[in-house]
């Protein structure tokens, strides 16, 4: 019985550690995701989840060097693992391969490990991402 419980606990632990993260629901306005600029903290990613056809499409938006950038929470190389990134002390870290780089280098990445860029636009104090762009990348999630 003890062995069974240990195996069960181990399986649950591994499943919990490898599960795709979920974040707050992406704020939607018509055909776009609309993130209020005043809610963004410089150099700190704001993670969101958009639900589409049973999938959690994760992405993040951040202010870097006076610009607003957005990326899928998916590594160009590691996306099949569906683990995304985490933010820690000024760095973005791939949850799958543990590659770490500063937020100021987010557009460059390292090797084939870099977040996939999401194009957005600024309007009326909001950063807009077309929902169709997120839905078009659903296969990465």
Q: In this predicted model, what pLDDT tens digit does every residue of 43-84 receive, in sequence order?
A: 999 999 999 999 999 999 999 988 999 999 987 777 788 888
Residue 139's pLDDT is: 84
Residue 14's pLDDT is: 39
When pLDDT is averaged across residues 26-54 and rounded to a whole number, the result is: 95
Q: In this predicted model, what pLDDT tens digit does every residue of 73-132 receive, in sequence order?
A: 987 777 788 888 999 989 999 888 888 888 888 877 666 778 889 999 999 999 999 999
**Residue 20 half-sphere exposure toward CB, CA atoms < 13 A:** 21
Residue 1's pLDDT is: 57
Query: How far apart are the C-alpha atoms of 62 and 77, rounded to whole Å?
Result: 22
When pLDDT is averaged across residues 29-49 and rounded to a whole number, the result is: 96
- The CA-atom distances, in angstroms, between 13 and each of 66, 84, 133 are 40, 18, 34
Residue 2's pLDDT is: 52
Is this model's pTM higher than 0.85 or not?
A: no
Q: In this predicted model, what pLDDT tens digit does every residue of 3-20 receive, in sequence order?
A: 533 444 444 343 444 467
CB 50 within 8 A of CB 134: yes
């Amino acid at each position: 019985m003890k062995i069974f419980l240990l195996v069960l606990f181990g399986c649950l632990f591994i499943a919990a550690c490898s599960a795709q993260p979920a974040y707050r629901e992406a704020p939607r306005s018509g055909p776009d995701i609309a993130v209020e600029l005043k809610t963004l903290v410089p150099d700190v990613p704001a993670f969101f989840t958009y639900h589409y056809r049973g999938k959690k499409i994760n992405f993040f938006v951040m202010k870097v060097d006076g610009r607003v950038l957005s990326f899928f929470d998916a590594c160009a190389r590691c996306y099949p693992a569906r683990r995304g990134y985490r933010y820690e002390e000024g760095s973005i870290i791939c949850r799958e391969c543990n590659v770490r780089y500063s937020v100021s280098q987010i557009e460059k990445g390292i090797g084939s490990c870099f977040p996939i860029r999401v194009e957005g636009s600024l309007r009326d104090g909001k950063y807009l991402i077309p929902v169709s762009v997120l839905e078009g990348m659903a296969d990465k999630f």
